[in-house]
Amino acid sequence: MQETITKVCSVSTIKKMKETYQSQLVKTPPYAVFQAKKSGVTITAYESGKVVFQGVDARDETNKWSGEIKEKKESATTKNSPLPKDFDTWSVVGSDEVGNGSYLGPVVVCATYVEHKHMALLKELGVKDSKMLTDKDIRRIAKEIIHVIPYKRLTVTPEKYNDIQPRYNVNRMKVALHNQAIYLLLKEIAPIKPEGILIDQFTPEANYRKYLKQEQHPVTSPLYFTTKGEQYHLSVAAASIICRAEFLEELDKASSELGFTVPSGAGAASDMAAAKILKQGGLSLLNKYAKLHFANTKKAQAIFNR
C-alpha cells in the first residue's frame, strides 16, 4: 500500500542522506535539497528540514533513519483540535473569505482542494495562516499555488454587495458564497470526492445549515466547521491566501482608478478615503467602492459636509 511519511531532520542528517542516496538521486524539485528514487520509495528532502518518504516501502525506509530523525512533537493545536484525528492529513476542500469587515473593497470567497500528495509542496511554497504573512508574501504565494491545486474564487464587488445586502444579512450572504464556491469546485474535480469539507466558521453550524436550505445547490456533506480553520488544514490556509491576494489586487485597481490609496479596514483612514470619493462623484461613485450600510458612510458624509 502506498504510504507518505514526513519527518523533520537536521541539516547534518539531510547531508548524510544525500550522500547515502548519491547513486539514486534524480532531478531536484523546487525548494528541495535532493530527491532520490529507490525501488518502492521516493525520498525528498526540503530546505525547511522536512523529509518526505513516499511509496509502498516508505515505512521501512523511514525506519532505517530512526536513530537520526527527530520526532515531531504534537502541538497544542493538534491536541485540542475539534476535528477528527489526523484531519490535517486528509484530502480536503477548505473555504475562507476576505473583505467582509472592510468598508472599501470587495468580499472575496475561495474554496480550494488540497490532496495529501500536495501538502509537502504547499508547505515549501510557504502556505500557512495568512495573518502570519506579509502582503508581499501573500501575493507571491498565491501566484504559485493557483498552479498547484484546484480552486474556485468568487469576488463580490461593492456595487454588487450593495445590491444584494438589503435582501441578505451578512451571514446569509456568506453562506451563499461559501456554498457556491464549494459546489463549483466539487463539480470541477468530479468524480474525485474529498474526505472532508472544512469551512472557516463564521456562524454556528445550525445557523449555516438553516441558510443552506435556501440555496439552489446546497452542499450538505461531509461538512466540518471550526474557527481559525487555516490552523487545522492547508486547504483553508491556501483559500485564505488566494482570497487576500485578490482583495489586495482589487484595492490596487480602485486606487489606480481614484488617484489615491484606497485602504482596507473600517477605521478613520477609510472614512477619509470615502469622503474623497464623495467629493469626486457623490454617493453614486461611493457605491462602486464601499459597502454603504457600514457606519463609515455617515462618518464620510459628515467629513465631506464640513
User: What is the pLDDT of the chain when averaged over all its residues?
Assistant: 91
CATH code of the domain made up of 83-252 = 3.30.420.10
Looking at the chain, the domain(s) classified CATH 3.30.310.10 span 3-63
Residues 176-205: tens digit of each pLDDT? 999 999 999 999 999 999 999 999 999 999
pLDDT for 73 beyond 60: no
pLDDT for 71 beyond 60: no
The mean pLDDT of 71-76, rounded to a whole number, is 43
> Which cell goes with 215?
440555496
- Of 240, 32, 265, nearest to 138 by C-alpha is 240
Q: Looking at per-residue confidence, does 293 or 7 come out higher?
A: 293
- Confidence bin at 72 (pLDDT 50/70/90): very low
Q: What pLDDT does residue 74 have?
A: 40
> Which cell goes with 224?
466540518
pLDDT for 76 beyond 50: no
Q: Rounded CA gap, 47 and 234, in Å? A: 19
Query: Which of 74-88, 119-133, 239-253 has the highest average model confidence (pLDDT)?
Result: 239-253
Question: How far is the first Cα of the chain from the last one, in angstroms, to the nearest whole number?
Answer: 73
Q: What pLDDT does residue 261 have?
A: 96
- Confidence bin at 10 (pLDDT 50/70/90): confident
The mean pLDDT of 236-264, rounded to a whole number, is 97
Class of domain 3-63: alpha beta
Comparing 63-72, 110-119, 120-129, 267-276, the range with the smallest average pLDDT is 63-72
Record the pTM.
0.74
Q: Rounded CA gap, 242 and 152, in Å? A: 10
Q: What pLDDT does residue 77 have?
A: 43
Looking at the chain, the domain(s) classified CATH 3.30.420.10 span 83-252
